[in-house]
């Protein structure tokens, strides 16, 4: 008698089950990585909107008039808080200079009322002391 040729039904079922588990894991990995890529892309766009809003004003007074706005699907909100910024010498002897009147500016960006996706904090000087 000759040797048995081919696979038994049980061997084929086990191989198919292993392949199904591997394909399921691969499908989840690809799906998760595409979701992460979309989230990163959205955060990059939100960061560009926040930087654009912050760069649109030279002085703090210019931003006080802008409380909120929209660019495409992105909604942004600006908060301006007056603070004094002390001047310190990095090199050399200490300087005796009064603090500068500045504003701490927080720009929050979200998509279509879905909450804040990105927040950027920056500083702007006042044109004239408030």
- Residue ranges covered by each domain of the chain: 9-125
- pLDDT value, residue 15: 92
Percentage of the chain surpassing pLDDT 90? 38
Q: pTM of this prediction?
A: 0.69
Burial status of residue 114 (CB atoms within 10 A of its CB: 0-12, 13-18, 19 or more): exposed
- pLDDT value, residue 96: 80
CA separation for the pair 69, 54 (Å, rounded): 12
Region 107-128: what's the mean pLDDT?
A: 88
Phi/psi-derived region of residue 72, left when phi > 0, alpha when psi is between -120 and 50, beta in every other case: left
Region 45-59: what's the mean pLDDT?
A: 92
Residues 6+ apart with CB under 8 A from 111: 42, 46, 73, 74, 75, 117
- pLDDT value, residue 76: 92
């Amino acid at each position: 008698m000759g040797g048995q040729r081919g696979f038994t039904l049980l061997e084929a079922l086990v191989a198919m089950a292993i392949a199904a588990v591997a394909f399921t894991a691969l499908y989840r990995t690809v799906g998760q990585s595409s979701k992460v890529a979309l989230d990163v892309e959205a955060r990059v766009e939100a960061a560009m909107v926040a930087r654009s809003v912050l760069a649109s004003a030279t002085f703090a007074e210019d931003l006080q008039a802008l409380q909120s706005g929209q660019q495409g699907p992105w909604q942004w909100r600006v908060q301006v808080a007056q603070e004094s910024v002390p001047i310190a010498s990095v090199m050399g002897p200490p300087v005796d200079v009064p603090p500068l009147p500045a504003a701490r500016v927080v720009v929050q960006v979200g998509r279509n009322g879905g909450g804040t996706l990105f927040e950027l904090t920056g500083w702007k000087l006042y044109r004239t002391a408030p």
